[in-house]
Chain A
């Protein structure tokens, strides 16, 4: 880690706060603070605002337009953005596919794909899971058959987040059906407007449609859109999944935001004429969760400050953070919904999906919409990014060689 002193971090934090105060639009922040997932125009719009300042890709190396921040600065930046209610950016693009292109892509791919990601011009969606390849991702069956300068792709993907926002799709397909599971997979970049590609929404428990299915019916993809070597896609995927777990797994900033929300609402909500927070059982539950969140956050700081790699036990720490972080997100969103009492039982429309509902009056306190949706969304946290049970397999195998 570069020598960033606490004072410098304090100054940096202030600089970020000042920037957010001036540049984060109020309506965007309002939507960001409620529980619903960010809309496409907010994700990309915010990315564009950040790009003008040169802050849109904090984790990228400087040669690709990163700001050259220390790990601690990046963390502070993420945290301040969350706390201010900034929309979540398109992680599929900035955080997942871009590092793979940077590490394994051709110069032409870098020149073509990286600038639009940096500038918030395109939205990337992931095509990994399939109906019969979830936790066992390597058993995927979608095929890519080479025909001259093209691959012809057939099959189906599922659980693609924000599929309906997508411009480009990074995905895995089997290029060698004879090879052992992991060995015959390649990594492709596909324009979602390519003929034969269709995206269908899945209705989630909370009523939103951010999850989708993607169907490939003789989709023709130029060979130049394959990343790295043929049949080596699994290696690139492991790299991507490691990044995902290590940097996003614990989602520590969002855990802290939940704590802050619970505290704010529990002061306003009353039980028997007294603020909810004065209820001893409630306060103790909250305190116990806060202690664990702070310990998870400290773990993230250790990971960041000391540089985590696959070689120094990083893999297990990534999985440990993923498991404990997602469990906490679930406990916190449970408590968050309990905080609003009766209104925890109400259905609220997702105003990102139904913008016309944005300024309509609704039942309950102004912070009630979205909390239930957030709780349901977080039930997926222990499933996505590799189910927590798979993470436990990884931890046991990495640490104990069982």
Chain B
């Protein structure tokens, strides 16, 4: 109901949106998702290949970089639709994030090409238990060994870590500087802990024990590329959350119109109407927050990082509330696995944990606001 009403979209974006909506209803309907989750399948490589065929993994990347052009707004539109459609496959974390990271460091054209074509699935092992979105907080070590490096330590919340063909790992060199390393996933020296994430999507711990890897970037260049790709990925996760909020509203409105209690439809109660109105208001505000974050992705790094962190803090707050209300308005059915509404809330909880939760990101934004105030005062 919101997209067709939205005057924001260009004709091209409307086509992208139509395509994404068709993908969700034809390839990834909720019944199929239920089958997959019952079977414990967190990621289907056939579906992944179909997403690649639609050209989504090259969207927002220039043709020189191996992509198909288009803007990050276009990418966000897909992320939002996949969030609304509860698609399990990790578009943001295993396509957008690694591809943009690789473009940022330069080189690696073979791997970018294979990400775009869907041939290789790449997971980025960047997080550690106490990093909370600070991608420079790294304890995993990289020690020179022969012509390559030996990785040791633990990475957490590696989305796609079990399905990937290739891993990109951040680690600390003996001199204290940071590096980005590439290795094949199926190495005996990489073991897993955990099985999947709470919303049925892929994600787990990877433990590296003398795993041999190739260094593909280091120093400031790598740190800048990593921060930029993180901010782009966080913005896309926020777009997914907006999709989840929209989806919550779209399944809840008809539910309360059909469900009757006390002899009348639930939607005839004003308390529920007002709750839905507030959910819709929060959706509008959250979508604007994402559009605003998108407009800062080309800004200087400190400003960009702060605005994206602020967007995440706000969207997580609004999204958590809206998806909670979706459950509440469904009554007992809201907490059953067979209803879609609860899946949206779980997605909000899982994305909150990624790249630092609400409070961590709010503190980041607050710090930036204060330093800007101090600059202005001088």
**Which A residues have a C-beta under 8 Å from some C-beta of B?**
263, 267, 277-278, 280, 283-284, 286-288, 290-292, 294-296, 298-299, 302, 306-308, 312-313, 316-317, 320, 323-324, 389, 391-393, 395-397, 399-400, 402
Tell me, in angstroms, the Cα distance from A393 to B268 when the chains sit together: 11
The reply to whether B313 and A291 contact each other, CB–CB distance below 8 Å, is yes
Q: Is B63 an interface residue (CB 8 A)?
A: no
Contacts of A292 in B (CB 8 A): 285, 314
Tell me, in angstroms, the Cα distance from A317 to B6 when the chains sit together: 10
Tell me, in angstroms, the Cα distance from A391 to B278 when the chains sit together: 10
Contact residues, B1-47 vs A (CB, 8 A): 1-2, 5-8
* Contact A295-B370, Cβ < 8 Å, known A392-B273, A399-B1: no
**Which B residues have a C-beta under 8 Å from some C-beta of A?**
1-2, 5-8, 253, 257, 267-268, 270, 273-274, 276-278, 280-281, 284-286, 288-289, 291-292, 310-311, 313-314, 362-363, 365-366, 369-370, 373, 377
Q: How distant is A6 from chain B, measured CB to nearest CB, in Å?
A: 11
What is the predominant secondary structure among interface residues of chain B facing chain A? Answer: helix
The reply to whether B292 and A294 contact each other, CB–CB distance below 8 Å, is yes
User: 6 closest pairs, A vs B, by CB?
Assistant: A313-B5, A395-B277, A396-B273, A392-B277, A298-B288, A306-B7
The reply to whether A302 and B369 contact each other, CB–CB distance below 8 Å, is no
Tell me, in angstroms, the Cα distance from A68 to B289 when the chains sit together: 30
Tell me, in angstroms, the Cα distance from A267 to B362 when the chains sit together: 20
The reply to whether B276 and A400 contact each other, CB–CB distance below 8 Å, is yes
Contacts of B268 in A (CB 8 A): 402
Q: State which of A291, A296, A393, A400 has its C-beta within 8 Å of the C-beta of B365.
A: A291
Q: State which of A267, A291, A294, A313 has its C-beta within 8 Å of the C-beta of B377.
A: A267
The reply to whether A299 and B284 contact each other, CB–CB distance below 8 Å, is yes
The reply to whether B270 and A393 contact each other, CB–CB distance below 8 Å, is yes
- Chain A residue at minimum C-beta to C-beta distance from B5: A313
Contacts of B373 in A (CB 8 A): 263, 267, 277
Tell me, in angstroms, the Cα distance from A278 to B257 when the chains sit together: 49
The reply to whether A302 and B366 contact each other, CB–CB distance below 8 Å, is no
Query: Given A286-B366, A291-B365, A294-B292, 16 more contacts at CB 8 Å?
Result: A267-B377, A277-B370, A277-B373, A283-B369, A288-B362, A295-B285, A295-B292, A296-B288, A298-B291, A299-B285, A313-B5, A313-B6, A392-B273, A392-B278, A399-B276, A402-B268
The reply to whether B362 and A298 contact each other, CB–CB distance below 8 Å, is no
Q: How distant is A22 from chain B, measured CB to nearest CB, in Å?
A: 24
Q: How distant is B271 from chain A, measured CB to nearest CB, in Å?
A: 10
- Chain A residue at minimum C-beta to C-beta distance from B285: A295
Tell me, in angstroms, the Cα distance from A385 to B256 when the chains sit together: 29
The reply to whether B281 and A284 contact each other, CB–CB distance below 8 Å, is no
The reply to whether A320 and B284 contact each other, CB–CB distance below 8 Å, is yes
* Contact A402-B273, Cβ < 8 Å, known A284-B362, A284-B366: yes
Tell me, in angstroms, the Cα distance from A56 to B293 when the chains sit together: 34
Q: How distant is B216 from chain A, measured CB to nearest CB, in Å?
A: 36
Q: State which of A317, A391, A393, A400 has its C-beta within 8 Å of the C-beta of B253.
A: A400
Tell me, in angstroms, the Cα distance from A290 to B253 when the chains sit together: 31
Tell me, in angstroms, the Cα distance from A277 to B310 when the chains sit together: 18
Q: State which of A283, A313, A393 has its C-beta within 8 Å of the C-beta of B273.
A: A393
Q: How distant is B76 from chain A, measured CB to nearest CB, in Å?
A: 14
What are 26 inter-chain pairs, A to B, with CB distance below 8 A?
A263-B373, A277-B370, A283-B370, A284-B363, A287-B365, A291-B310, A292-B314, A295-B292, A299-B285, A306-B8, A307-B7, A308-B7, A312-B5, A312-B6, A312-B7, A320-B284, A323-B277, A323-B278, A389-B274, A393-B277, A395-B277, A400-B253, A400-B267, A400-B273, A402-B267, A402-B276
* Contact A298-B292, Cβ < 8 Å, known A283-B370, A288-B313, A402-B268: yes
Tell me, in angstroms, the Cα distance from A283 to B310 when the chains sit together: 14
Contacts of B6 in A (CB 8 A): 312-313
The reply to whether A286 and B369 contact each other, CB–CB distance below 8 Å, is yes
Q: State which of A290, A302, A395, A396 has its C-beta within 8 Å of the C-beta of B8.
A: A302
Tell me, in angstroms, the Cα distance from A320 to B283 when the chains sit together: 10
Q: How distant is B285 from chain A, measured CB to nearest CB, in Å?
A: 5
